[in-house]
Structure 1
Amino acid sequence: MAQRLAARSRPERANLYQDITDRIIADLEAGRVPWVQPWGTANAGVGMPHNAISNRRYSGINVLTLWHAVASRGFSSHAFLTFRQAAALGGTVRRGERGVGIIYTHRFVPTAERQRADQEGRATAGGIPFLKHFTVFSVDQCDGLPEHICQPAPPIPEGLILPQADELIAATGADFRIGGPSAYYSPAQDYVAVPRPDDFHDPINWHRTAFHELGHWTGHKTRLDRDQTGRFGSKEYGREELVAEMAGAFVCAALGIVPSVRHADYIGSWLEIIREDNRAILRAASAASKAADFILSHGRTSDLDANGARNDEQVEPDETGRLAA
């Protein structure tokens, strides 16, 4: 049975990977960078997509999928929920509304293996990984939901260095140096360097640059241990830039800062990477989410909600086999 389950899941998994990759390629070819939300034309303010009930932020490729839905379909909120969750709140999804497909990974452990593990007093190991696809709806697509579910987050006040960004950077404990002519992260010496905010034409870009470089900082061998050995122009270098680019965008959005493309000239190399491997964008988005979560975990509200907080999107099915969040 386990082999049949794995065999059935492989074509479905491949199709999901390809659908996601095709959409990312189409956006990049059109000059749109999916992790830089066009906030100026979107109805929603800056923010991270999250579950309307649990307030857990979605992660990985689901961030890009839901941001795309918010921008392309004109949603006014980043809050999503399942059909059953809307009903549990006393609301309904309006007839004819089309949901947004997102994914999560899970592991299937055969019954015989679970029973043996119970008899031997040990935890089950391994299992068969599979990808699950499910559908969520924006709260904009629902009627009858409680008022607090639909209430948008308050706007973030502007400043030269926003207090929440300054506090978060300090809380990471990173060797973070402000000043000098250029922004970079030194893996060998493990420090981040960023020019002064007043050296930027628009000081808000300082935040985008700072969190991009902190995205690289998370990859050090003592933290998330990513491959940072690639030389400029190599695919390894391009992959790490892609991770840092998305991680910076995720952190900015969580803090209410409009993300932007720090390295637009890398788009060609990113396209080359994801065209060659239809799982490359999923791996990069997953690594970026881990990097953003690592940075955000140092904040005061590190495990509370969707407004600048870290929460893991991975959820488990309930006893009926359906998602509980």
Structure 2
Amino acid sequence: MKTNNRPRPDVYKMVTERIISALEKGVVPWQQPWRNSGLPQNLITGKVYRGINLWLLLSLGYSRNFFLSEKQLEAIGGKVKEGEKANIIVFWKQITIDDPDTTETKDYPFLRYYRVFNVEQCEGIPEDKLSKVDETIHNDIVSCEDVYEQMPKKPKLQHKGDKAFYNPLLDFINMPAKTQFPKIEDYYSVLFHELIHSTGHLSRLNRKELLNMSEFGSEPYSIEELVAEIGCCFLKTVVGIGNNDLENNTAYIDGWLKSLKNDHKFIVFASSQAQKATDYILNTCIQKEDESITETDGGNDSTF
């Protein structure tokens, strides 16, 4: 019997290379606008992609952000246009392994990737499928102020001086007055960033990167700042504030590129933590991403 000795693909590396490629072109995936094209979602199930998948698909720049697997496409009578290449998305799964020494079982997370196509890469899709209109899925959040007001166990918010920061020891956020910002959107952008930091508090998500980020430039500091940056963009996406307004992009991009090249798990982990922080703030219990494609389209994995 022949054995397949091909090494498993490094899913983390694949995702990271996609992000690096975008950053090197000056495109920050988590800052891409979405209002005109809708949030990326599966054409068949209607479920919106989350976490790193949101940014992987949004950064592709399609005018219609509906995606589906090749199996799903074939099931509705469509096919992929000649020459089109698949886009990668990823899902976390668990594998249970027996420990021969202790006779106990342990669960290990691993990352699987799957291939999807945008509807613009396909032909033969029935018009009734293409007529879907993206209605915002965040109806419970009606204003920027609601994001803070509806947050469970929210930290104290005070307005003093001209510095914005979160104090994890005393669990409060300090913000300059709204009148000190050029635009009201700028105020909420900074507030959302600090709110994401606050989710790492011991009484909330107990994120170790927040608790160990005292040294500027350290690994915990870099991860926590990226978690806050991506989480802030998640929240701005919810309320409809533009995400492509980061000042001094070059300096930020250089720092992110360095971290991404040093650790292939960096962006996947940071995105996952940012999604958890966002879900906590919005007090949501959102269904996991649609994994129906996993039963029909195979997949490839990397063990954590």
Q: Which TM-score bucket, shorter chain as reference?
A: 0.7 to 0.9
Distance 1:57 1:125, change over 3 A: farther
For 1:209 and 1:126, locate their aligned partners in 2 and report how far apart those are by CA, in whole Å.
41
SS in 2 for 1:11: coil
Structure 1: segments with no counterpart, 5+ residues = 114-123, 157-161, 304-309
Q: Select 2:71's aligned residue among 76, 84, 88.
A: 84
Q: Select 1:193's aligned residue among 166, 174, 180.
A: 174
Name 2:241's counterpart in structure 1: 257
What CA deviation, in whole Å up to 9, does each residue of 1:206-229 have, x standing for no partner?
Answer: 222221111111111222211222
For 1:172 and 1:30, locate their aligned partners in 2 and report how far apart those are by CA, in whole Å.
36
Check whether the contact 2:158–2:172 (CA below 8 A) recurs between aligned residues: no
SS in 2 for 1:240: helix
What CA deviation, in whole Å up to 9, does each residue of 1:221-262 have, x standing for no partner?
Answer: 222211222223333212110110001111211332212437
Check whether the contact 1:235–1:269 (CA below 8 A) recurs between aligned residues: no
Q: TM-score, normalised by structure 1?
A: 0.73
Q: Select 1:202's aligned residue among 183, 186, 193.
A: 183
For 1:251 and 1:196, locate their aligned partners in 2 and report how far apart those are by CA, in whole Å.
20
**One-letter code aligned to 1:51:** N
Distance 1:321 1:269, change over 3 A: closer
Q: Select 1:230's aligned residue among 198, 206, 213.
A: 213
SS in 1 for 2:8: helix
Name 1:215's counterpart in structure 2: 196
SS in 2 for 1:57: coil
Name 2:278's counterpart in structure 1: 292
Distance 1:295 1:312, change over 3 A: farther
**One-letter code aligned to 1:81:** L
Name 2:157's counterpart in structure 1: 177
- What pairs up with 1:1-325 in 2 under 5 angstroms? 11-12=8-9, 14=10, 16-37=11-32, 39=33, 45=36, 47-69=38-60, 71=61, 75-88=62-75, 90=76, 92-96=78-82, 97-109=84-96, 125-127=105-107, 129-142=109-122, 143-146=125-128, 150-153=132-135, 163-173=142-152, 174-177=154-157, 179-180=159-160, 181-227=162-208, 228=210, 229-231=212-214, 232-259=216-243, 260-261=245-246, 264=249, 265-296=251-282, 298=283, 302-303=284-285, 310-313=286-289, 315=291
For 2:132 and 2:290, locate their aligned partners in 1 and report how far apart those are by CA, in whole Å.
23
**One-letter code aligned to 1:32:** V
For 1:319 and 1:94, locate their aligned partners in 2 and report how far apart those are by CA, in whole Å.
20
**One-letter code aligned to 1:207:** Y
**One-letter code aligned to 2:258:** E
Check whether the contact 2:45–2:290 (CA below 8 A) recurs between aligned residues: no
The higher relative CO (CA closer than 8 Å, separation ≥ 6) is in 2
**One-letter code aligned to 1:92:** G
What CA deviation, in whole Å up to 9, does each residue of 1:30-73 have, x standing for no partner?
Answer: 33322111x3xx8x62753222343333223212211122x2xx
Check whether the contact 2:156–2:171 (CA below 8 A) recurs between aligned residues: no
Q: Percent identity of the aligned residues?
A: 30
| Number of residue equivalences | 280
Check whether the contact 1:46–1:257 (CA below 8 A) recurs between aligned residues: no
